[in-house]
């Protein structure tokens, strides 16, 4: 569960009654794609012949450029999450991160899903006893890549939803 029961209007586009601009929506999708791509090798090491998570990340980016419609990006995200279902550990979390990144096109609040699953993937891949520090390092890596126009929004969103995102944003 990564979405709040009550949606934050800052993560709803203006045309749907919120305050999120299209430019910031695209920045959220690009940042989510970057978070997911960072851990994609953890999936591809286990399933090198399954292109679905990589395609989801590509669709997220293509959506930001106006090259694919939202529904196509969302569908690619669903396929990536389908790739995750039969897996466990780091590979599963990495595929879910890719799926979450693609569905940001549909619901901007999935940006934290991509980031949280990427942190979970890094934690799962870390040696015994090093998972917490690895997760904090991934969280800091993600924060270092936040574009300035959405930085405060994402950091506040992490604070507000940290509890429902497995408390992975304590970095």
pLDDT, tens digit, 9 for 90 and up, residues 2-53: 899 999 999 999 999 999 999 999 999 999 999 999 999 999 999 999 999 9
pLDDT single digits (tens) 67-105: 999 999 999 999 999 999 999 999 999 999 999 999 999
First to last CA, the chain: 20
Q: How many CA atoms lie within 13 A of 17 on its CB side?
A: 2
Residue 57 CB partners (closer than 8 Å, separation 6+): 33, 36, 37, 40, 98, 101, 102
pLDDT digits (tens, 9 = 90+) for 107-158: 999 999 999 999 999 999 999 999 999 999 999 999 999 999 999 999 999 9
């Amino acid at each position: 569960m990564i979405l709040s029961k009550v949606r934050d209007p800052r993560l709803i586009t203006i045309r749907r009654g919120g305050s999120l601009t299209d430019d910031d929506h695209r920045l959220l999708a690009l940042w989510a794609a970057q978070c997911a791509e960072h851990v994609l090798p953890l999936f591809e090491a286990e399933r090198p012949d399954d292109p679905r998570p990589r395609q989801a990340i590509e669709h997220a980016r293509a959506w930001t450029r106006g090259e694919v419609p939202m529904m196509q990006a969302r569908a690619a995200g669903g396929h990536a999450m389908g790739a995750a279902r039969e897996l466990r550990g780091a590979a599963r979390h990495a595929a879910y991160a890719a799926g979450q990144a693609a569905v940001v096109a549909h619901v901007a609040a999935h940006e934290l899903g991509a980031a949280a699953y990427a942190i979970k993937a890094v934690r799962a891949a870390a040696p015994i006893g090093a998972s917490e520090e690895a997760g904090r390092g991934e969280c800091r890596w993600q924060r270092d890549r936040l574009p300035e126009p959405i930085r405060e929004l994402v950091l506040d969103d992490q604070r507000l939803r940290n509890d429902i995102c497995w408390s992975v944003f304590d970095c």
